[in-house]
Amino acid sequence: MDRASRTILERFSREAHNLLTHYRYNRSRPLHPRYRKGQIDALRWLCELGRIYLEEERRIPERLRRAIERECHHVEPLPPGPYRQGIEDALDRALELLEG
């Protein structure tokens, strides 16, 4: 996956967590209790959202591999010939690229 995307997701998660910690434990600023609760609830949700997207980002290569393998099975009923061979070769190269 693109390093920039991963960096953005990691920074997003880290910042949300830092703010959550700040609003949970920092009582030096006089804030309305409902405001603090709203901040904490929103930041919890944002932390969870960041975690979900980071997990999804980690799973992209496996999901891509499964999609290519599914397509390989869709090609099997085609009659042998140059068209089918072209598709199979392209899919095989794609799988090789995923292997690294």
What six digits make up the tokens of 69?
């393998």
Q: In the predicted model, what is the mean pLDDT of the chain?
A: 92
Residue 1 above 70 pLDDT? Answer: no
pLDDT digit string, tens, across residues 18-58: 999 999 998 887 889 999 999 999 999 999 999 999 999 98
Buried b (16+ CB within 10 A) or exposed e, 43-79: beebbeebeeeeeeeeeeeeeeeeebeeeeeeeeeee
pLDDT digit string, tens, across residues 11-24: 999 999 999 999 99
User: What is the share, in percent, of the chain residues with pLDDT greater than 90?
Assistant: 79
Alpha helices, DSSP H, located in 1-100: 3-25, 33-75, 82-99
